[in-house]
Amino acid sequence: MTSMKNSKCKLCGTELVFITKKTYEKIVDEIKPSFKSISKEKDGIFSLCPQCDSYALGAELEAGYPLFDCDGIKNRIENLHSSDEHKLKDMLRDGLDIVFCGTAAGNKSAESNSYYAGSSNSFWKVLMQVGLTKEEIMPENYAELLEYNIGFTDINKSESGMDKDVDLGDDTDIAILKYKILKYAPKILAFTSKEAAKMFFQSKNLQYGLQTLEIGRTKLYICPSTSGAARRYFDIKYWSELNDLV
């Protein structure tokens, strides 16, 4: 794949954006554009210039086609320069031990700009109980987890709310997540609910724990949700096993 870092259009110098194969096929089927800058990359991804190929990206439609930029931020052509894409920003850097991934930020997390901030969510308590942190950290201090070499992301970074209220089936979101994991290469990508894992794996037949599939050198792991709404399915042993893998 073309390096997504500072990738520039050869025609005009504009920073390239990226679309999935599914989006490319939809564009071709619906508006049949004459592409000026498109290039096929690996893993079903296409790069193109939002300036030279603005029409192909849906600039003349009511809503453009989904794309993402070199930072892995999902957007559409009409909002490309907007600064308010994220409800809760990623916390990622190279070589983390664990990156936790949920579905999307809940309403309380988006409101407080803090991960797993719901009053009935036991995420932070569980981290302490299994030894991933030395003490129970408050949600608003989530950045302290970098001291434990732990990061955060979500499948859907452009919406917030309960799972039933956000789009969790977008192939662009999955492509972005894969890209970010390949870019930062954590040891483990840990889904914080089976619902999040279902969206990524596109399968309902999943078991908790370590998975056989990997992204590059990153192992994939599914944890039971710490949400109060999923309390009856919770089993702390899987969180303890995650700690043992680090």
**Predicted local distance difference test score (pLDDT) of residue 165:** 67
pLDDT at residue number 108: 87
Mean pLDDT for 164-180 is 82
Q: Above 80 in pLDDT, residue 224? A: yes
Amino acid at the residue 74: K
Average pLDDT over residues 216-229: 94
Q: How confident is the model at residue 2 (pLDDT cuts 50, 70, 90)?
A: very low
Question: Starting from the edge strand earliest in sequence, which strands make up the sheet with 150-154, in order?
Answer: 150-154, 98-102, 188-191, 218-222, 209-215
CATH classification code of 98-245: 3.40.470.10
**Does 10 have pLDDT greater than 50?**
yes
Confidence of residue 228 (pLDDT cuts 50, 70, 90): confident
For the four alpha carbons of 240, 241, 242 and 246, in that order, the dihedral sign comes to positive
Taking residues 145-163, what's their average pLDDT? Answer: 87
18's enclosing H/E stretch is strand 17-20
Query: Whole-angstrom Cα distance, residue 240 to residue 246?
Result: 10
pLDDT tens per residue across span 29-87: 999 999 999 999 878 899 999 999 999 999 999 999 999 988 888 899 998 866 554 56
Each residue of 102-146: pLDDT tens digit? 998 888 888 888 999 988 999 999 999 999 999 999 999 999 999
Inter-CA distances, 206 with 52, 218, 223, 242, Å: 43, 18, 11, 17
- Could you tell me the sign of the dihedral formed by the alpha carbons of 136, 140, 141, 146, in that order? positive
Query: 96-111: per-residue pLDDT in tens?
Result: 999 999 998 888 888 8
Mean pLDDT of the chain: 90
Name the segment(s) of the chain with CATH classification 3.40.470.10.
98-245
